[in-house]
Structure 1
Amino acid sequence: MKAWIDIYIGLGSNLDQPLDHVEQAFSTLAQHKHLRNARISPLYQSKPVGPQDQPDFINAVAHAQTQLGPHDVLDLLQSIEQQHGRKRLRHWGERSLDCDLLLYGNANIHTPRLTVPHAHMHERSFVLYPLADLVPQLCFDNGLDFSRFLSRVPFDLEPVKKGI
């Protein structure tokens, strides 16, 4: 029997009722037959990364356990994005839903389709602070203490809603 792996997923939206998109995406994850023990951080409002001529984002981080492989998780996340009408109009642009696989256990993955840990997570308050809400004592496989990243990134988020 395959081991259950802890995964962390960044969720974000800034179009068409973004709070609803994030909550519905989490609900889909929580009910998925290959995921268990799903939890979500508090939801936060954040300024966009990249072009500033777009609405603020609603962001959260979800945790679950899975026996799926990392690319299967990526496929699942992309299918959820498609269900929410995700279109890639411009780099770091507006979107109805963005689902990013941030962490897959302690795995380091570098393929053309997937980089885990997520390449920019250590720079983004809208990832780090919700992740810290779920796992404040997180330590990376390379020995880096998660709190060191938090101390380098200002808290520039607006709390919107408590997690589950």
Structure 2
Amino acid sequence: MPEAKTVIAAIGLGGNIGDPRRTMARALELLDAHPDIRLRTVSRLYRTPPWGKTDQNWFLNACALIETRLDPHELLKVCLDIELRLDRVRTDRWGPRTIDLDVLLHGDFLSDHADLTVPHPRMTERAFVMVPLADIAPRAVVNLQSVADWASEVDSDGIETLSADGNWWLAEAGMPEAPSHD
């Protein structure tokens, strides 16, 4: 059996319960520790207004690009397992959460199944996804338009940049510099 092809995937991260910055950093650390995932880059960290269900705390959001040999369903399972490890409890749709990990893009994979839709549904309508994704993948194409173009068109009122670059998570994870993959 041939070895699985490595693809670039985009993961969206967010949370608004507890210490979302630390929880998101831990999620990135756990993703990077997986033998079939290599963290390539992380966006700046953003504070964003709640979306959908607006009577809750503001969120912290970021995106990450990874290299993976996992297929999209396997990657989703890893993300859901990490959410459970980090005390994610699913109650209200769009409600408060300690962590949310979404598979936004997975190479050129397209799926519209109930268990996994890629590109992630409604991502192009959500500034909390498109703004951080534009930091790290501005030329990626979603629905025939670049991420940078989507980010410029989406309503980003209220979004605050909380970090100068994508290294915000390293100190939270207790790492002085970017992970090494020798």
Query: With structure 1 as the length reference, what TM-score do the two structures score?
Result: 0.93
Distance 1:151 1:29, change over 3 A: same
Does the alignment pair 1:148 with 2:149? Answer: yes
Percent identity at matched positions?
36
Q: Letter of the 1:150 partner, please give it.
A: A
**CA displacement, residues 61-110 of structure 1 (integer Å, 9 cap, x when unaligned):** 01101111110000000000001111111111000000000000011112
Does the alignment pair 1:108 with 2:95? Answer: no
**CA displacement, residues 124-162 of structure 1 (integer Å, 9 cap, x when unaligned):** 11110111100122224x542333312321333111123
Q: Partner of 1:84 in structure 2?
A: 86
Structure 1 residue runs of 4 or more that deviate by more than 3 Å after TM superposition: none
Q: Is the Cα–Cα contact under 8 Å of residues 40 and 61 in structure 1 kept in the other structure?
A: yes
Q: Partner of 2:44 in structure 1?
A: 42
Does the alignment pair 1:163 with 2:151? Answer: no
Aligned-pair RMSD on alpha carbons? 1.4
Q: Is the Cα–Cα contact under 8 Å of residues 29 and 38 in structure 1 kept in the other structure?
A: no
Counterparts of residues 1-164 of structure 1 (less than 5 Å): 1-140=3-142, 143-156=144-157, 157-161=159-163, 162-164=165-167
Q: Is the Cα–Cα contact under 8 Å of residues 7 and 63 in structure 1 kept in the other structure?
A: yes
Shift of 1:37: 4.0
Q: Letter of the 1:27 partner, please give it.
A: E
What secondary structure is seen at the aligned counterpart in 1 of 2:145?
coil
Output the CA distance in 1 between the equivalents of 2:48 and 2:151: 16
**CA displacement, residues 15-37 of structure 1 (integer Å, 9 cap, x when unaligned):** 01111111111111122111124
Output the CA distance in 2 between the equivalents of 1:37 and 1:77: 13
Q: Letter of the 2:153 partner, please give it.
A: R
Q: Is the Cα–Cα contact under 8 Å of residues 102 and 121 in structure 1 kept in the other structure?
A: yes
What secondary structure is seen at the aligned counterpart in 1 of 2:23?
helix
Using the TM superposition, name which of 115-124 and 144-153 deviates more.
144-153
